[in-house]
């Protein structure tokens, strides 16, 4: 196609279709220059623009109008123009603003990662590691909510929520009817169901997968294990549900399937949404056809327990005593 | 006496009824526009007049109208933003209470210019009396044939509806207003697309302030060129100013833009000076969102020239020494007012009114409020002042809508100009609870201030 537009992000030029957002253009390049996204979800229409972690600097608007944009823009909701030049990690201004957003996201977050089921696969945790401060400057009492069971399979920890609206969009677009939404305003706004109605339909479990933090968690997996002790395996089954094709990730601990989630791509987004039967009711290996170990990015803490990406540190190779101590791991690394 | 265009007949008994309004020359603009002008000619007149949006941003109204997309077969809407809820601003309420027909006449002319067949007046939920007044006025206008089908036999149809809001400050933001009008949660939309392309129900929409729409009436009656003669430079026409605070005569005044600020505060025609013989300490010139200025910078520019009530003059010097005309909510503080307390109060408002959609504003406004609360109540630390500065800087410009900016500007300007008063609250925690910092040097002649600026 000749009508592709050229966009340069941190000095790397890529050609994308017109109408692509800066974030998606950066994802086509991949690597470190992809801005983090807490609220944007490519499968959900209308999402994005809220969390402000993906802000970037547009240093040149386009070929026709080379003026820079006056403010930092949300890359997930700004479309590229031909000849646009964008700065993400090369701009100190962006990095500072992003760390400001992370700090602000964390001021009312309980930081209860040690007891949170999401820890290890939490976008906010990753963001905090990369951009956060070592200590907080917030010295006031944090806003708290009671935790609520919405339906028998999902638990809502409103304290952890960053109000990305993903679950609201999911319920609007994936399920037949939405019974939950945002109540109240400002920093006391909360995700809630319509007068404590249970969120109950065939696809409701997907709100767990889209939640970037531990606000919506799987009750059947609650306190079962830390995710980095489990091994993800791709599997499928013939699902009777018309909208579900039964392609999932099983999370094994030893012989047991501790939980079932949809498959996620490298940006943490669900590839295909799955039904509640697959997610909550099929927890036997015999229910599934195993395909392969799930590829996990080596930056994820889940990968640290994963056979695929084990690379012995150079220091281990040089030191005999260390080689002896890490014998099992070294053997594994040779195997794979 | 300065020329009055909007409030000329405000004191005529019964001006809120159609009959008296007609006797005073009302609805001439509708007749003139619908019978002798084309919609494009009306837009052209408004462009010529140089009218700038009266809601706060000051965007030229004629330009806004000419940006409206006009695809075939798609409805267009005019929405009047009467969700006036900025602390310090009460001009629209005054106008709607006393001369509702001025707004309705303006709505008819503006709708005709834009080709809108249905128009809405979105009124803040708290203004129930005004909603009833407007509804009554609309019924009167409809009975007289100014609304409905085939207005004045010209073949132009217009239905005008009043929609009460839920009473949220954020719904004064145009895209949040449209969401609310559609019956959804009043969260601002992410722009683009702008309402001129996809607004109400996805159709091209223009959102204008009450005063902007009412100002269309004199523009059509007298012609855009005539209107442009009033005022100064690019600030043309007259502006309603809601004056409040420690003034002898607070109230709504219609001024010709370009009036010196000093004259506005001290002349008997307007506010009549500071109440109880006290001295002026500071002013907020355009509603709570604009930067607060100390007295010397309010009356004079940084170079010593008198500051005028106009879009340009008030913003002269940027945020370092200037402010903004905003929506015209003029608040004056005398020497006994505490700037820290005032800043805390504004922050409390923005914390309460933040919609909670984007994170810097949702969490940051609460943080600002808590730090200011601590400072005001004598429990602050020196580092809090720098922390406030840092937090406001992280909110400003990083949000979806201007509420984040509006929340950070008052805090930033208070620290910029009144830092000593903040420091005094930290150093004298007990004394600050019972007495005030006073006037200090905020009103000293501008020359000294200029020297101080260079040192900084």
CATH number, domain at A95?
Answer: 3.10.20.740
Residue A198 belongs to domain with CATH number: 3.30.70.20
In angstroms, the first-to-last Cα distance of chain B is: 43
Minimal CA separation from B117 to chain A, in Å: 29
Task: Indicate the pLDDT class of residue A234, thresholds 50, 70 and 90.
Answer: very high
Q: What is the pLDDT of residue A312?
A: 64
Q: Is residue A252 part of a domain?
A: yes
Token digits for B327?
Answer: 């929506």
- Claim to verify: residue A245 and residue A282 sit in the same structural domain: yes
Q: Whole-angstrom Cα distance, residue B33 to residue B41?
A: 9
Q: Which of A127-141, A189-203, A309-323 is predicted with the least confidence, judged by mean pLDDT?
A: A309-323
In the prediction, which pLDDT does A306 show? Answer: 52
Q: How many domains does chain A have?
A: 4
Which is nearest to A107 in space by CA: B381, B407, B363, B375? Answer: B363
Residue A108 forms part of a structural domain: no
Confirm or reject contact between A23 and chain B (CB < 8 A): no
Same domain for A88 and A121, yes or no, is: no
Q: Which two tokens stand for residue B138?
A: 């609309």
Which are the contacts of B137, defined by CB distance < 8 A and separation ≥ 6? Answer: B16, B18, B100, B101, B104
Residue B299 CA to residue B403 CA, distance in Å, equals 27
Whether A189 sits inside 8 A of B362 (CB atoms) is yes
| Rounded-to-integer distance, Cα B450 and Cα B59, Å | 31
Nearest Cα neighbor of B272 from B248, B254, B292 is B248
Distance CA A332, CA A307 (A): 7
pLDDT tens digits for chain B (456 residues)? Answer: 578 899 999 999 999 999 999 999 999 999 999 999 999 999 999 999 999 999 888 899 999 999 999 998 999 999 999 999 999 999 999 999 999 999 999 999 999 999 999 999 999 999 999 999 999 999 999 999 999 999 999 999 999 999 999 889 999 999 999 999 999 999 999 988 899 999 999 999 999 999 999 999 999 999 999 999 999 989 999 999 999 999 999 999 999 999 999 999 999 999 999 999 999 999 999 999 999 999 999 999 888 889 999 999 999 888 889 999 999 999 999 999 999 999 999 999 999 999 989 999 999 999 999 999 999 999 999 999 999 999 999 999 899 999 999 999 999 999 999 999 999 999 999 999 998 898 888 877 665 444 445 554
| A238 found inside a domain | yes
The closest of B435, B244, B213 to B330, measured between CA atoms, is B244
- CB-based contact A186 B370, cutoff 8 Å: no
**B353 close contact with A: CB closer than 8 A:** yes
pTM of full prediction above 0.95:
no
Which of the listed CATH numbers 2.40.50.100, 3.90.1300.10, 3.90.190.20, 1.20.1440.230 matches domain B339-434?
1.20.1440.230
CA B232/CA B257 separation, integer angstroms: 6
Domain stop point among A220, A254, A285: A220
Examine the pLDDT at A124 and tell me if it is beyond 50: yes
**B232-334 adopts what CATH topology?**
Ubiquitin-like (UB roll) (3.10.20)
A-contacting residues of B 385-404, CB under 8 Å? 387, 391, 393-395, 397-400
Nearest to B360 among A48, A104, A163 (CB): A104
pLDDT computed for residue B55 by the predictor: 87
Nearest to B260 by CA among B203, B190, B323, B309: B309
CA proximity to A30, closest of A50, A43, A14: A14
State residue B97's pLDDT score.
Answer: 95
Q: Is B205 on the interface with A (CB under 8 A)?
A: no
**Assigned domain for A107 exists:** no
> What angle do the packed helices B339-353 and B359-376 form, to 10 degrees?
150
Nearest to B191 by CA among B358, B366, B406: B358
List Cβ neighbours of A109 (8 Å cut-off, separation of 6 or more): A124, A142, A159, A160, A162, A213
Portions of chain B given CATH number 1.20.1440.230:
339-434
Residue range(s) defining the domain that contains residue A325: 306-336
User: Does one domain contain both A30 and A91?
Assistant: yes
Interchain CB contact of B185 with A (< 8 Å): yes
Residue B239: phi and psi, rounded to 5, are -140, 140
**CA quadruple B326, B328, B332, B338: dihedral sign:** negative
Domain identity same for A198 and A147: yes
CATH superfamily of B18-229: NADH-ubiquinone oxidoreductase 51kDa subunit (3.40.50.11540)
Q: State how far the Cα of A80 lies from the Cα of A78, in Å rounded to an integer.
A: 7
Tell me the CB-side half-sphere exposure of residue B362, using CA atoms within 13 A: 31
Residue A150 lies in a domain: yes
């Amino acid at each position: 196609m000749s009508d592709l537009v050229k966009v340069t992000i941190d000095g790397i030029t890529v050609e994308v279709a017109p109408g692509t957002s800066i974030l998606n253009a950066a994802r086509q390049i991949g690597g470190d220059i992809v801005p983090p996204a807490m609220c944007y979800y490519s499968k959900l229409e209308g999402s994005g623009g809220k969390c402000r972690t993906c802000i970037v600097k547009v240093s040149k608007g386009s070929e026709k109008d080379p003026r820079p944009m006056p403010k930092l823009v949300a890359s997930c909701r700004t479309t590229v123009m031909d000849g646009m030049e964008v700065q993400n990690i090369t701009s100190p201004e962006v990095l500072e603003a992003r760390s400001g957003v992370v700090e602000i996201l964390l001021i009312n977050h309980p930081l209860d990662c040690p007891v949170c089921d999401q820890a290890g696969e939490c976008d906010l945790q990753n963001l905090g590691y990369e951009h956060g401060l070592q200590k907080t400057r917030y010295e006031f009492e944090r806003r708290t909510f009671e935790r609520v069971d919405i339906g028998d399979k999902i638990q809502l920890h409103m304290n952890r929520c960053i109000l990305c609206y993903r679950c609201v969009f999911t319920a609007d677009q994936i399920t037949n009817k939405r019974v939950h939404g945002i109540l109240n305003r400002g920093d006391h706004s909360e995700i809630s169901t319509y007068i404590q109605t249970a969120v109950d339909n065939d696809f409701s479990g997907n709100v767990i997968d889209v939640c970037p933090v531990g606000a919506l968690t799987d009750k059947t997996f609650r306190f079962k294990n830390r995710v980095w002790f489990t091994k993800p395996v791709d599997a499928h089954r013939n699902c009777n549900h018309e909208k579900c094709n039964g392609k999932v990730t099983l999370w094994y601990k030893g012989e047991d399937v501790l939980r079932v989630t949809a498959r996620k791509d490298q940006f943490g987004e669900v590839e295909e949404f799955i039904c509640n039967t697959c997610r909550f009711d099929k927890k036997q290996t015999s229910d599934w056809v195993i395909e392969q170990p799930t590829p996990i990015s080596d930056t994820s803490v889940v990968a640290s327990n994963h056979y695929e990406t084990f690379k012995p540190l150079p220091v281990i190779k040089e030191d005999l005593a260390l080689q002896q101590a890490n014998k099992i791991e070294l053997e594994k690394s040779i195997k794979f | 006496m300065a020329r009055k265009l909007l409030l000329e007949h405000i004191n005529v008994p019964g001006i809120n009824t159609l009959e008296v309004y007609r006797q005073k020359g009302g609805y001439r603009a509708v007749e003139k526009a619908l019978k002798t002008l084309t919609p494009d000619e009306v837009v052209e007149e408004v462009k010529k007049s140089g009218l700038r949006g009266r809601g706060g941003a000051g965007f030229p109204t004629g330009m806004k109208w000419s940006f409206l997309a006009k695809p075939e077969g798609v409805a267009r809407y005019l929405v009047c933003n009467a969700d006036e809820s900025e602390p310090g601003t009460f001009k629209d309420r005054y106008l709607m209470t006393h001369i509702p027909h001025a707004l309705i006449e303006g709505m008819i002319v503006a709708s005709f210019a834009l080709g809108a067949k249905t128009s809405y007046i979105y009124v803040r939920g708290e203004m129930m009396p005004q909603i009833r007044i407007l509804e009554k006025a609309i019924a009167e206008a409809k009975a007289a044939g100014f609304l409905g089908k085939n207005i004045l036999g010209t073949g132009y149809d217009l239905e005008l509806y009043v929609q009460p809001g839920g009473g949220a400050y954020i719904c004064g933001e145009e895209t949040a207003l449209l969401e609310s009008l559609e019956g959804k949660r009043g969260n601002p939309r992410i722009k683009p697309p702008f309402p001129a392309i996809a607004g109400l129900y996805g159709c091209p929409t223009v959102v204008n302030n009450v005063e902007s729409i009412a100002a269309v009436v004199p523009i059509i009656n007298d012609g855009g060129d005539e209107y442009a003669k009033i005022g100064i430079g690019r600030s043309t026409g007259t502006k309603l100013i809601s004056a409040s605070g420690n003034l002898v005569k607070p109230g709504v005044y219609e001024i010709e833009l370009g009036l010196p600020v000093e004259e506005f505060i001290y002349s008997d025609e307007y506010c009549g000076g500071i109440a109880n013989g006290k001295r002026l300490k500071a002013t907020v010139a355009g509603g709570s969102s604009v930067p607060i200025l100390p007295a010397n910078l309010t009356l004079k520019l940084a170079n010593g020239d008198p500051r005028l009530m106009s879009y340009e003059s008030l913003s002269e010097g940027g945020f370092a020494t200037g402010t903004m005309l905003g929506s015209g909510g003029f608040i004056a503080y005398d020497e006994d007012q505490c700037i820290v307390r005032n800043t805390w109060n504004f922050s409390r408002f923005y914390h309460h009114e933040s919609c909670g959609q984007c994170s810097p504003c949702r969490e940051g406004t609460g943080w600002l409020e808590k730090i200011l609360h601590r400072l005001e109540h004598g429990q602050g630390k020196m580092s809090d002042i720098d922390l406030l500065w840092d937090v406001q800087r992280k909110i400003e410009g990083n949000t979806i809508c201007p509420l984040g900016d509006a929340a950070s500007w008052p805090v930033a300007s208070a620290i910029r100009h009144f830092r000593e008063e903040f420091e005094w609250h930290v150093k004298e925690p007990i004394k600050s609870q019972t007495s005030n910092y006073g006037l200090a040097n905020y009103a000293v002649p501008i020359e000294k201030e200029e020297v101080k600026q260079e040192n900084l």
